[in-house]
Structure 1
Amino acid sequence: MDKILIPIYGQDIAPRFDLATEVVILIREVGNPTPEERMMVLPQASAEQLCHLILSDGIATLICGGIEEEYYQYLSWKKVAVLDSVMGPWQKASELFMEGRLRAGQCLHTRRMEGKDVS
């Protein structure tokens, strides 16, 4: 069983880890392609509380937007895989992660120019 945490803002990945007040936790069971989704609203934005939640809940992977180096290093040291600088809808990030195609720094927003997708 893998647990993935994504700090969110509306339908997108939160632009900053330390300012997120809502998270989604995805629980992926072996043999089940569709993960269980758990939404959680935090009482206040706090990087320390998020780190505590990640470690106490046994989160294996963090998918986030911007994250301070201090928290990135701390979570990496604690053996949490951190995919940072990911931008776009959290559902799309979830799908790509489950397919093994999500990378740090990926922009998932669709851009259109002259009526054509250019992303």
Structure 2
Amino acid sequence: MRKLLIPIQGDFVAPRFDLATEIFMARFENGEVVGEPKTIIMERPSDEGLCQMIVEEHITDVVCGGIEELHYNFLVWKKVKVLDGIIGGWQMALEKALSGRLQQGEILQQNSDEPLSL
């Protein structure tokens, strides 16, 4: 069983790891969410607090936007798989991460039948 964390901002992956105040977490196995996912609202943005939460919650996978090298290296050292540089909707990022198709630095496109909002 693995556990995924995504810092989010509204419907999107938060652009910066260190400024995120909303966190999505889910356990998953064989590409499927197991149990009830949860969303946590942090009192204030804290990169150290987020790293501590990742370790305490036994997170195995992190999907995020921009992350400082110091925090990236710390998480990798703690054996957390980090996919950073992700831009787009967090639900699409979740689906692709669960299926193993999400790539580092990926820009997620909307469905072609949905209008682009600028």
User: Under a length normalisation based on structure 1, what TM-score does the superposition of the two structures give?
Assistant: 0.88
Aligned length: 114
- In 2, the alpha carbon distance for the partners of 1:26 and 1:8 equals 13
Confirm whether residue 105 of structure 1 aligns to residue 70 of structure 2.
Answer: no
Partner of 2:24: 24
Unmatched segments (≥5 aa) in structure 1:
none
3-state SS, counterpart of residue 51 of structure 2: helix
> RMSD of the TM alignment (CA)?
2.1
Q: Which amino acid aligns with 1:85?
A: G
Aligned letter for 1:56? Answer: E
Task: Give the 3-state SS of the residue equivalent to 1:3 in structure 2.
Answer: strand
TM-score (normalizing by structure 2): 0.88
Rounded Cα–Cα distance in structure 2 between residues aligned with 1:111 and 1:11: 15
- TM-fit CA distance, 1:109: 2.9
- Pairwise CA distance, 1:110: 2.9
Measured against aligned partners, the alpha-carbon deviations of 1:29-68 in whole angstroms (never above 9, x if no partner) come to: 45x7234311000010000000000000000001000000
Q: Which has the larger radius of gyration?
A: 1
Q: Percent identity?
A: 43
2:79 maps to which residue?
Answer: 79
Instruction: From the superposition, tell whether residues 45 and 116 of structure 1 become closer, same or farther in structure 2 (CA, over 3 Å).
Output: closer
The unaligned stretches of length 5 or more in structure 2 are: none
Deviation at 1:111, TM superposition (A): 8.4
Report the Cα distance in structure 2 between the residues aligned to 1:40 and 1:54, rounded to whole angstroms.
Answer: 12
Aligned runs of 1:1-119 on 2, under 5 Å? 1-29=1-29, 33-35=32-34, 36-110=36-110
Deviation at 1:116, TM superposition (A): 9.1
Distance 2:39 2:115 in 1: 34
Deviations 1:40-98 (A, max 9, x none): 00010000000000000000001000000000001111111100000111100111111
